[in-house]
Structure 1
Amino acid sequence: MTDLYTSDDEIFALESKLSLLEGTPRLAVLVPLAWHLRQRNCERSKLLADEATILLTQASNDDVWFRRNMARIALIHAEINWLKGELEFAEHYTNEAKQTFLELRDKVGLGDSYFLLSSIKRDLGDIPERDACLQKALEHFLEVGEFERHLICVARSMHNSAMRDPQLTLQKIVQNFDNDRNYPASVNAWLLSAKAIVANKIGDMGESCRLHILAHRAAFETGQIRQAILTATNAGDSFATLGDLDAALEWDEIALALARNNNWPGSLATALLQTGNALRLLHRYADAREKLVESLAVQTKIAGSRTYAHTLCYLGDLAIDLSAPEDALGFFQSAADKIIEHNEPVFLSDCWRGQAIAYCRLGQAQEAQEKIRDALKIAQDHHNLDEQIKCFRVLAELAKRFHTDKAEQIAAPTLNLHYLLKAYDLCKTIKDITVPADLLDDIANSYADLDDFQSAFAYAKLSAKAKESRRLVDAQNRAVALQVKHDNERHRAEAEHLRRIAKSEAERAASLQESSNTLETLGLIGREITANLNAEAVFESLHRHVNDLLDATSFGISLLAGDARSLHFVFGMENGELIPPFTTPIDHPISSFARCAREREEFVLEREPGTEGRFIIPGTMETLSLLYTPLMIGDRLLGVMSIQSTRPHVYGERERSILRTLAAYGAIALDNAYAYKQLQATLNTLRETQNQLEEVSITDPLTGMRNRRFLLQNIEADVARVLRFYEDQIQAGEAVSPGDEDIVFFMVDLDHFKSVNDTYGHACGDMVLIQMRDRLQHVFRESDYLIRWGGEEFLVVARSCNRRDAPTVAERIRHIISSTTFKLIDDIEISRTCSVGFASFPFLPTQPHLLSWAQVVNFADQGLYMVKKSGRNACIGISHTSAEQGEEFYNRVMRHPQNAADNGMIEIIQQKTHSLDDTIMPS
């Protein structure tokens, strides 16, 4: 029977067994190995499961055995899909396996199915089903005496409840687990995590850090990689609470590296979330926002999870820190909507308190009052003193800021002071707590504002005492954090030492096993080597396989130079260290590399210790056995490969045959790599030429501006971005409000340009057009598109622009062109004006899809036409009104824009030229 989780040693034993088996006997190992690799290495687990599926269909064993194994394979696929966030597929495969196990009356299989289904339900946000599935798994395991699996389930249920009710969870841990008993690592991954969360919630942060680290090790050692990532982030959170933000960030980055390595949405989101919060506490706000936004992005498949709600809440905290209460309000509201499904009232209270703070900063007193009182009620109903204190402090801030009327009987002179004193009284009821100094300062300041300086002085003294106590607590916390880190480093060093010993033994055993199958595996090695098209990769591959198959303290390759007169030592390793490159003449009298190249024959040298007079590379070890073989393609010499050992007489016929074969494969691979390098150089040249041609095709040859082809290639991405912005507002049921995401089209035409060509000639006209680019670049950003639309007409596409700024920007264009002279041949200077028409996309914010971007460009062109008709040297924009429009809207505006404006369909914006002066600056 296969365990739920197992150790790395068992994995190694299974891998060793598998290497000795062929055909259907491999099934005895394939399925258990695939099962235990499902989180350690998803891709390899899937490959092994696929191989087992093929072998199962070929085997002639009984139907029960076949179906039980196929159900186990389905469960492997289910867990891999769960890890990757493919929850629908994960649930499908799990139910398929569950049904088979039910028909076979396989209680262990049923328990494993429900255990996995509990994880899937958690990510789907269905917490009642999560707990129900875990309870069913527990019952099945208990029924068949699977005590380790049963204990894992019990410990996991403790882990699930620890956040919601730490005190009750602590009682259940004491009832179900003996504190003096050593439990298996698979159980400790959950049990220690549950204890750590409880320690965090009751304020024992040092113990919380220590337990989270132990839980992380236990999870990692038993292949519970997702739990290992979670415990690492929890360790970071506890270190942050302890005040050691460096250690917090270190553990968050451990979790993030592990999560990125596996790229599982749920784990990656949690790691990004905690890393973002640690960065926020370090005041690295930009980095924190980047991580939190990325966390939301990777949770698209699991938006119903608890982690998603936490991410929104942390974004709300960040927005408060950045003085962006509107953003904070949105985040806290969304977090509250999500967390209601998870039955975590204290977390909901936290979300509502965050909304109250945001409303307060926005000046919305009534809304703030409603939210903070709802939050306070939850905190009081669940006897959460810490949350009650925070709520009273928000109420105090509201009373002070808005001079709230006294809504209740109070003994204090002011409502603000009343709430501060209630918070203070609650603090005093909490055992072993130091009252926050800033609370005492607030009370002292409130008394001082009332001219009650005696009370103010008394609380100021208490504040000073609290600050001193806080310094002592902080010092103790730092000492605890240092001790935890010291213990962790010591355990890590011990574990690393044991791992190295195990790895050394494993490599030695693997080397002996592979030696007996060397000739059979050379074909596979040859295919791998010759598949490389990079010389460095060929060198590395040859070196790796030489080390696996032969005794080679030193390994080296010299390649023949193009003139065939010298050898370049291009790759060499000795005991893991690189040997520096050097060059040897082909006619060198004592160099063994040169001799092998000249003779084109393999040979072995045997040295006596201390031998002198031979060609020895300075700084390298004294080697006693040396084997050289030429790298040949037919009759053509490419170079020489050599292996050397510090032991005498180690290269017999078998070793020479192996190296000869590897050299043949290496020569073919190097020749292929050289040919591929030449091909790549040719392709790069062609690609560069193609890029140049592409650039020419989208650039106006006269002005260097972009042309219409460029616009057609690039505008759709900007249009899609803008439409998403408005669609999100509409789908969220929010009032549609234009922002900085609009695209504004400016159509610019030089007035009376024909007279330039007629008076000064076309060459001077071209000079004016070229200088137009400089004028427009002075007004617009590098990210905006400057398009030569045709003749003396230019289209400017202002990306990510606010449509309210369009009239001002249009006038800047008109002003800079009319106020700056154009320089022509022979130092002639002329002045010209321009006409500007403009319109914004989407034209109708509430109906973003009604008009295409090309139609909006036509509106800008219509505005330009209206300027021309009205006397030139002005700016006219066509803008929307609040009225909803139908399908004939575009045609009616294009036919009779003035009538459309008179009927309230559009607004014609005409910027008065005298409203701006010479102080206009480019945007």
Structure 2
Amino acid sequence: MDLFTGDDDILNLESKLALLEGTPRLAVLVSLAWHLRQRHCARAKELADEATLLLARAANDDAWFRRNMARLALVHAEINWLRGELEFAEHYCYEAKHAFLEFKDLTGVGDCYFLQSSIKRDLGQITERDQCLQSAIDIYQGIGDQERLQIAIARSLHNSAMREPQRCRADIDQFQKEVPDPAPAVLAWLLSAKAIVANKIGDMGESCRMHVIAHQAAFQTGQIRQAILTATNAGDSFATLGDLDAALEWDEIALALARQNNWPGSLATALLQTGNALRLLHRYSDAREKLVESLAVQAKIPGSRTYAHTLSYLGDLALDLGSPEDALAFFQSAEEKILEHNEPVFLSDCWRGQAIALCRMGNAELAHQKIQNALQVAQDQQNLDEQIKCYRVLAELSRKSHCNLAEQINEPTLSLHFLLKAYELCSSIKDVTIPADLIEDIANSYADLGDFKNAFHYARIAAKAKESRRLIDAQNRAVALQVKHDNERHRAEAEHLRRIALSEAERAANLQESSNTLETLGLIGREITANLNAEAVFESLHRHVNDLLDASSFAISLLTHDGNALQCVFGMENGEPIPSFTTPIDHPVSSFARCARERQEFVLEREPGTQGRFIIPGTAETLSLLYTPLMIGERLLGVMSIQSIRPHVYGERERSILRTLAAYGAIALDNAYAYKQLQATLETLRETQNQLEEVSITDPLTGMRNRRFLLQNIEADVARVLRTYEDQIEAGQDEAQNDEDIVFFMVDLDHFKSVNDTYGHACGDMVLIQMRDRLARVFRESDYLIRWGGEEFLVVARSCNRRDAPTVAERIRHITSSTSFNLIDDIEIHRTCSVGYASFPFLPGQPHLLTWAQVVNFADQGLYMVKKSGRNACIGISHVEGTHSEDFYNRVMRHPQNAAEAGLIHIIKQKSATDEIDLTTISAS
């Protein structure tokens, strides 16, 4: 399995996967998930999860099973790294490396080190980054994997290009002699290194060309993060070349790609470079917006090199805006961050920025100290460009204040002395045009001293420098234009190849979709018609409609008992309920009434912006509307409709699918109303929140703890509880006497969005803060109150008895619903809450079978059941005595109701009709 591969290989894998079913898909699933890890994180995770399930079913060869699981763990590690979840990334990477080492899979071990190098970079641990990459190089070299070895070496050259460009240039030349025709995955790093070196030595045209080609190579081989980086570097080189429009174009390409993937590290870099380009274009407000957003994005990775550069760019912007105090603060913060990255020239730049800010603040003494430090670093690094900048700052300082220096000067003034030193250094650099403004400053200094001969002499030199600068600018524009032309040609070729690839992928997808649709509809039909609960039928239809069709709106209207009207009994639009409405069967405008009268399906197409009255005020303006009757033989039950905000989306395929679903739905509803049973059933598993806020252990709004706190503290509690249960099992004690359980309560404020919409976000914040107080009244100080996200809270009740959980849950619900929330201007509102809960260990007889995180998922599943069944209630998931297999967790999470009916769990439902606790236990008899 290659480290990276091209788009053609991805298409081949996709085509193969489309033709496979069941266990044989494993041959392609793991490889495809691996190669999609940067191209499409969500799909890679979906494929990895499918592969995990299939591997569990086919785990007849333990070594084969664990090797594949290790590769999938590495997929998860890279996805977490890209998303800025560095702790999880390190955890998965460690798991994978341990398994690879156990089975002596050195290729896998090398890949782990390769990824760890990226993780260490984002953590700001540069020494560890280089050590991990060197370990990968050593392993690849030892096993003779030439392409992986070349990629790792090229990446090492890329890392050193910034610090030691001249030495790196020689190393690149040597590498190209040894590898004359590198693979595209290698070029993505090698050309990026060459581009950085070209930038450092002033060959901006070559730098632009190399960055553009490196970007294309990275993109085509699935190295999307590197593709974003090379695009931002191309923008930086174009900016140095003077073509700010091209610079902004490339920065926007990088930013669009970064926003599409929403990876903190990449998005921060793209925002940083875009902000700098906007600053150079004097669009200061837009520049500040992008730079501040870049800092916010990097909250999870404050140790990264990009974070320091962002602070430095904000310092430059503050100087441009005339705010030296702000500039000084930014440069000082940048200095603290960059010290970890061993970049002396950047440190010199930070000190020079501080000197300029201090000078403008009137603190000449400290400004002199800073600029002297910056100059010393620049001299130590033999960086002439930085030395010139430092001398010019010293000249400015000398004009504004007197400074005693140990060095002897031959010029009349200290300011002129520094200007001439800068001029001397500029003259020593080959093929560099001396800045005209520097020469003019020297001429003006002589003029101020009355030395008009020298003033005239340098004025003439300045005029020649300006003319030379104009010629160079013209040459640069020509180079930039040529690079842009080449780029457009390459882009056109890439677009042509992309369209071919899309066509092939679409063909394969259509074949698979046609095959899957028939099988899926049969399975769906059996599922829907097995329900005897009308609400369950509505939910099932809605879910499958969303899976199979483009439906932003979904509604079912049923005939009233007298047959004279249609009552909307279920409706959802973009995840939100549609208010119920009644339509007379003879309504002259209603499409629902028309479908019921004609008993035939039909499609309506609206033109965008068409004026007219919608059936339901306040709903979205839909452009495609499909209606179909719900029929049992010749008997009409009602009408089902789906609608989309996109035009012309319902063809014959979509009509056939909805027609089939309507037939199944009609049978199921007829059965449900015949039996007159109402059963709550929930079929979907709530997607686990991936974007974790780990800025600190305390939520800034409510003062409650957050997820980071939970991750840092829960393991100790879990270990304590497990020890207690292990001791009890060994002693043969009854678990009923145990007061050492951990109970997880998942709490969600019902209809919280309406508070923000009606009263504003400030009032919404007040409600959240008061909700914290209500929870604090229910629980002990030793319990954990967690702000889980939005209006959702997780309470971890420590050292308690699981038998008390229903009472405590009802206490939460009661205190929320019975106490008003006080808002601004003495406004009082009432809100209810929904509660789901579960206890750890979930199975007292098998305390190690489920992790605490899986038990939290059970509590979350309970909350999900409450919300789907009407909110303002409590549902707990509890254990059933007996021994269970490792597949127990997945069975419960996939179908909790089925698990309850099979006798695997109890579902404890607490009704909210009264203040008394009414417990109904649903389980197998």
Structure 2 distance, partners of 1:202, 1:711, is 56
Structure 1 distance, partners of 2:241, 2:347, is 24
Q: Residue 271 of structure 1 aligns with which residue? A: 270
Q: Residue 514 of structure 2 aligns with which residue? A: 515
Structure 2 distance, partners of 1:503, 1:470, is 47
Alpha-carbon distance change, 695 to 307 in structure 1, aligned in 2, over 3 angstroms:
closer
Whether the aligned pair in 1 keeps the contact of 2:11 and 2:504 (CA below 8 Å) is no
Q: Residue 331 of structure 2 aligns with which residue? A: 332
User: Which blocks of at least 5 consecutive residues in structure 2 are unaligned?
Assistant: 529-535, 552-556, 566-585, 587-591, 603-625, 643-650, 671-749, 774-823, 828-925
Aligned AA for 2:447? A
Q: Residue 284 of structure 1 aligns with which residue? A: 283
Q: Give yes or no for the alignment of 1:366 onto 2:373.
A: no
Structure 2 distance, partners of 1:262, 1:655, is 30
Structure 1 distance, partners of 2:449, 2:460, is 18
Q: Residue 199 of structure 1 aligns with which residue? A: 198
Alpha-carbon distance change, 407 to 501 in structure 1, aligned in 2, over 3 angstroms:
same
Deviations 1:177-222 (A, max 9, x none): 2499442221111111111111111111122122112111211222
**Cα distance, 1:346 vs structure 2:** 0.9
**Cα distance, 1:260 vs structure 2:** 2.0
Q: Residue 494 of structure 2 aligns with which residue? A: 495
Stretch deviating more after TM superposition (155-164 or 239-248): 239-248
User: Which blocks of at least 5 consecutive residues in structure 1 are unaligned?
Assistant: 546-558, 566-585, 587-592, 604-626, 642-649, 672-682, 699-708, 717-784, 789-923
Whether the aligned pair in 1 keeps the contact of 2:73 and 2:96 (CA below 8 Å) is yes
Structure 1 distance, partners of 2:542, 2:472, is 56
Superposed, 1:280-679 pairs within 5 Å as 280-405=279-404, 407-523=406-522, 600=599, 634-635=635-636, 660-661=659-660, 664=663
**Cα distance, 1:491 vs structure 2:** 1.5
Structure 2 distance, partners of 1:23, 1:164, is 51
Structure 1 distance, partners of 2:537, 2:209, is 48
Deviations 1:337-387 (A, max 9, x none): 221211111111111111111121121222111111111111111111101
Q: Residue 94 of structure 2 aligns with which residue? A: 95
Deviations 1:224-279 (A, max 9, x none): 11111111111111111111212212221222222222222211211111111111
Deviations 1:387-419 (A, max 9, x none): 110011011111111033454211211111111
**Secondary structure in 2 matching 1:299:** helix
Whether the aligned pair in 1 keeps the contact of 2:232 and 2:250 (CA below 8 Å) is yes
Q: Residue 29 of structure 1 aligns with which residue? A: 28
Whether the aligned pair in 1 keeps the contact of 2:596 and 2:636 (CA below 8 Å) is no
Whether the aligned pair in 1 keeps the contact of 2:188 and 2:218 (CA below 8 Å) is yes
**Cα distance, 1:53 vs structure 2:** 2.4
Q: Residue 611 of structure 1 aligns with which residue? A: none
Alpha-carbon distance change, 631 to 220 in structure 1, aligned in 2, over 3 angstroms:
farther
Structure 1 distance, partners of 2:768, 2:107, is 63
Structure 1 distance, partners of 2:762, 2:61, is 68
Q: TM-score, normalised by structure 1?
A: 0.61
**Secondary structure in 2 matching 1:177:** helix
Whether the aligned pair in 2 keeps the contact of 1:538 and 1:670 (CA below 8 Å) is no
Structure 1 distance, partners of 2:455, 2:771, is 66
Alpha-carbon distance change, 158 to 600 in structure 1, aligned in 2, over 3 angstroms:
same
Alpha-carbon distance change, 713 to 133 in structure 1, aligned in 2, over 3 angstroms:
closer
Structure 1 distance, partners of 2:94, 2:762, is 55
**Secondary structure in 2 matching 1:164:** coil
Superposed, 1:736-815 pairs within 5 Å as none
**Cα distance, 1:63 vs structure 2:** 2.5
Q: Residue 84 of structure 2 aligns with which residue? A: 85
Aligned AA for 2:79? I
Deviations 1:126-159 (A, max 9, x none): 1111111111101111111111111100110011
Q: Residue 188 of structure 1 aligns with which residue? A: 187
Q: Residue 254 of structure 1 aligns with which residue? A: 253
Structure 2 distance, partners of 1:244, 1:336, is 30
User: In the comparison of the two structures, how many residue pairs are matched?
Assistant: 635
**Cα distance, 1:596 vs structure 2:** 10
Alpha-carbon distance change, 195 to 713 in structure 1, aligned in 2, over 3 angstroms:
same
**Cα distance, 1:103 vs structure 2:** 2.3
Structure 2 distance, partners of 1:543, 1:93, is 36
Deviations 1:657-703 (A, max 9, x none): 768526758999999xxxxxxxxxxx99x9699958999999xxxxx
**Secondary structure in 1 matching 2:222:** coil
Deviations 1:82-107 (A, max 9, x none): 11222222222212222222222211
Whether the aligned pair in 1 keeps the contact of 2:11 and 2:501 (CA below 8 Å) is no
Aligned AA for 1:48? L
Whether the aligned pair in 2 keeps the contact of 1:346 and 1:379 (CA below 8 Å) is yes
Stretch deviating more after TM superposition (122-131 or 59-68): 59-68
Q: TM-score, normalised by structure 2?
A: 0.61
Whether the aligned pair in 2 keeps the contact of 1:230 and 1:255 (CA below 8 Å) is yes
Alpha-carbon distance change, 437 to 69 in structure 1, aligned in 2, over 3 angstroms:
same
Whether the aligned pair in 1 keeps the contact of 2:29 and 2:48 (CA below 8 Å) is yes
Structure 2 distance, partners of 1:249, 1:344, is 26
Structure 2 distance, partners of 1:411, 1:510, is 79
Alpha-carbon distance change, 419 to 535 in structure 1, aligned in 2, over 3 angstroms:
farther
Structure 2 distance, partners of 1:695, 1:117, is 42
Structure 2 distance, partners of 1:360, 1:335, is 19
Q: Residue 606 of structure 1 aligns with which residue? A: none
Structure 2 distance, partners of 1:786, 1:521, is 55
Superposed, 1:896-915 pairs within 5 Å as none
Alpha-carbon distance change, 664 to 459 in structure 1, aligned in 2, over 3 angstroms:
farther
**Cα distance, 1:601 vs structure 2:** 6.7
Structure 2 distance, partners of 1:258, 1:564, is 55
**Secondary structure in 2 matching 1:492:** helix
Structure 2 distance, partners of 1:513, 1:130, is 43
Q: Residue 842 of structure 1 aligns with which residue? A: none
Whether the aligned pair in 1 keeps the contact of 2:232 and 2:273 (CA below 8 Å) is yes
Structure 1 distance, partners of 2:468, 2:505, is 54
Whether the aligned pair in 2 keeps the contact of 1:638 and 1:667 (CA below 8 Å) is no
**Cα distance, 1:524 vs structure 2:** 7.1
Q: Which is higher, the Rg of structure 1 or of structure 2?
A: 1
Structure 2 distance, partners of 1:663, 1:396, is 82
**Secondary structure in 1 matching 2:197:** helix
Deviations 1:625-658 (A, max 9, x none): xx999775852675999xxxxxxxx99xx99976
Structure 1 distance, partners of 2:476, 2:240, is 10
**Secondary structure in 1 matching 2:24:** helix
Fraction of identical pairs, as percent: 70
Structure 2 distance, partners of 1:316, 1:305, is 18
More relative contact order in 1 or in 2 (CA 8 Å, sep 6+)? Answer: 2
Alpha-carbon distance change, 657 to 322 in structure 1, aligned in 2, over 3 angstroms:
closer
Q: Residue 56 of structure 1 aligns with which residue? A: 55
Aligned AA for 1:302? I
Structure 1 distance, partners of 2:655, 2:80, is 48
Structure 2 distance, partners of 1:16, 1:711, is 50
**Cα distance, 1:502 vs structure 2:** 2.5
Q: Residue 12 of structure 2 aligns with which residue? A: 13
**Cα distance, 1:61 vs structure 2:** 3.1
**Cα distance, 1:8 vs structure 2:** 2.3
Deviations 1:11-34 (A, max 9, x none): 222223223333332222221122
Q: Give yes or no for the alignment of 1:112 onto 2:102.
A: no
Whether the aligned pair in 1 keeps the contact of 2:756 and 2:764 (CA below 8 Å) is no
**Secondary structure in 2 matching 1:635:** strand
**Secondary structure in 2 matching 1:413:** coil
Whether the aligned pair in 2 keeps the contact of 1:199 and 1:205 (CA below 8 Å) is yes
